[in-house]
Amino acid sequence: MASNSGQRFDKLTAPSSIEGLSRREFLGKTTQFAAGAIAAGMLTSCAPSTTLKAGRPAAVATKAGVIGANDRINIAIIGVRGRGMNQAEGFARIPNVKIKTLCDIDANLFAERVKKIDGIQHFAPATEKDLRRVFEDKDIDAVTVALPNHWHALAMIWACQAGKHVFVEKPCSHNIREGRRMVEAASRYGRIVQCGFQNRSLNNVQQAIKFLHDGGIGEVYMARGLCFKARDPIGKVPDGIGTGPEYKYFVWNNPGVNYDADYMGRVDYDMWLGPAPKRPFNYNRFHYNWHWNWDYGNGDIGNQGPHQFDIARWGLNKNEHPVKVSSLGGYFGPESDQQTPNTQLATFEYADGKIMQFDVRGIYTNDEAAIFDAIKKSETVAADPNAAPKIVEELTKRQDGITVGNLFYGTKGWMYLNDTVWKTYFGRKNEPGPCSEALEESANPNDPVGSGSQGHFVNFIAALRSGKKEDLNCPIEAGFMSTTLPHLANISYRLGRTIVFDGKNEKFVADNQADKMLTRDYRRPYAVPDRV
C-alpha cells in the first residue's frame, strides 16, 4: 500500500457555487462521473488550500483551548441526517451548551433540522455544507462527527488540527491504521475526544462491569457479543437516478426513496465520497445503505457490532489487542448490492488464552439465553371427575432472550447483559445471583438514530469543562481498541483464513496480504496522513 502523506486542515479558498440541475443534466453528469468527471461544475470543490502552515494550524488559536465552568460551549454537528440529529437534540438540552452550526453535504435537510433545534434552544443554528468551514469558525469549541464510517478519521483529525474538541461516532475509524492516527492526533493537539460508545455512560452497564472486574462470577474467561438484527435484502439497482421497478430498493426493511435530480442538485456528492474511490451515484451506496459497501462501511459487525464489542472487551478487562482472529460467514438470500455478510461469526484469542466470540445474524434466528422455569401443577381430567389429579409441568419464562447484547462466562457463574438489564446465575441449576435493580434509559439497538446517549453527551461536556480527558467515559484510546476488533474480524473474513496479530506493533505476523488491509487507498485530497 502506498504511503499517504495526506494533507492537513487549513483555511479554504472561496467556495464554488452549487447550481440546481435538471434530471437530464444530472443524468448526464452521472454518466460523466463514471468516466471520472461528474463533479465538474456541479459540486463544491473540497480540495484544501495548497498553502499549508508548519506546526499547528493557525485555526488552533481559538477559544477552544480553555473552557471555564460557566462558559457557554458552542458545538457544531457534522452530519445531521440520522444519528447527528440525535446528538444535536441531546447537546441542545444541556445547560449552557449551544448548537451553533449544523453541517451536512445534503442541504435538503437544513430547513427542518434548523427549526427543530431552534425549538429546543431558542436559537437557530447556522448551516454549512463544507465541514472545513466549520473548523475555521473560531467561536466553535467542539464538533460532533456523525458521518459515514469512511469519513470519521479524517474529520476528527482535521478538527483536532483546527483546535476543536471532538465527539466522534462509533466505529471511530473505517480501518485500523487510521484509528491509530486518530489517537495520535488527539494527543498531539491536546484535544479531548470522546468516542460514541454510549453504554460506557449507562449506570447499569457500569455496575455490571464492576461486578465482573470484582470477581463476581469468578475469573471471566470468555465474552460473547450478539448482533441479531433482521434486515431484509436491500435489492439491486442500476447506477444513476430513476424511478420504477428497476430502481426499487430497501433501507432497513422499508422502501427506499428515489431521490430526483432536483434533490441531488443540493447534495455535494463528491464531498460525500470523500476518501473513497470515485464512483457514480447509486441509491444502494448512499444514505444508510452505505453500511453494506466496503468502500464506506464495515457491515453489521462494524455497525451495531462495535457497541457489543466494546462491552465484551471492557468486561474481559482487556486493554490489549487479541493475538489470533478467525471469522467466517457470508451473504445469504436473494441477489442484492450488499457486499458485506449478513451472517458472520468471529472468534478472538488473547495472549493469556481468554476468548471473545461475536455472532451476527441478519436474517431469521432465535434469541439466546432465555430461561424457562418448569412449574408443577395438578390438572383434573374432565372425562373422569373421580380420577386422581394429573401432575403436569408448565414452562414459564423467567427471562427474555438476547438478540443484541452480551454474555460473560466465569469460573463461578455467568452474566446476562441485555441492553441495560443484567443478571447473574450460578451452579448447575442456574441459581440467580446479583442483578441490576433499577430501570434506566434504554440504549435501544433497533433505534436507527441511537438512544440512551444523554449521559454520554453530558459526560463529554463535563470533560470539556474540567479540561481532563481522564474524565471521559470513552476516550479515543478506548474507542480505538474496541473498534479494532470488528476490523480484525472483517480482515479475517475477507481473506478467508485465520490471522495472527502483533498487537504491540499493530501489524500481522509475516502476512503482507493482511497488512495491506490495515489501511486503504485514499482519494486525494482526502487522505488520512501517515503523520498527523
CA-based end-to-end distance of the chain: 18
C-alpha–C-alpha distance, residues 478 and 473, integer Å: 9
* 8-state DSSP, 268: -
425 half-sphere exposure, CB direction, 13 A CA radius: 16
| CA pair distance 76, 98, nearest whole angstrom | 9
Rounded-to-integer distance, Cα 504 and Cα 184, Å: 15
Cell numbers for 50: 495548497
> What is the chain's alpha carbon radius of gyration, rounded to the nearest angstrom?
25
- Half-sphere exposure in the Cβ direction for 229 (13 Å, CA): 21
Residue 245 grid coordinates: 421497478
What is the pLDDT at residue 49? 35
Half-sphere exposure of 202 (CA within 13 A, CB side): 27
CB 452 within 8 A of CB 420: yes
Q: What is the pTM of this model?
A: 0.86
Residue 105, classed as helix, strand or coil, is coil
Spell out the residues 6+ positions from residue 9 whose beta carbon is closer than 8 angstroms to its own.
48, 57, 59, 132, 135, 157, 158, 159, 161, 162
- DSSP letters for 414-449: EEEEETTEEEEEETTTTEEEEE--S------TT-TT
What's residue 309's pLDDT?
98
* Gap between the Cα atoms of 460 and 398, Å rounded: 38
What domains lie within the chain, and their CATH numbers?
23-200+456-478 (3.40.50.720), 368-401 (no CATH)
pLDDT at position 9 is 60
pLDDT at 16: 33
Taking only the tens place, the pLDDT of each residue in 342-375 is 999 999 999 999 999 999 999 999 999 998 877 7
- What is the enclosing helix (H) or strand (E) of 76? strand 73-78
Calpha distance 328→139 (Å, rounded): 48
Q: How many CB atoms lie within 10 A of CB 284?
A: 24
* Phi, psi (rounded to 5 degrees) for 121: -105, 0
Residue-level pLDDT at 10: 57
How far is Cα 402 from Cα 137, in angstroms, rounded to an integer?
45
pLDDT score for 383 = 62
Q: Which residues of the chain have pLDDT under 70?
A: 1-66, 69, 376-386, 388, 441-452
Tens of pLDDT, residues 210-264: 999 999 999 999 999 999 999 999 999 999 999 999 999 999 999 999 999 999 9
Which residues are 501's β-sheet partners? 508
- pLDDT computed for residue 446 by the predictor: 53
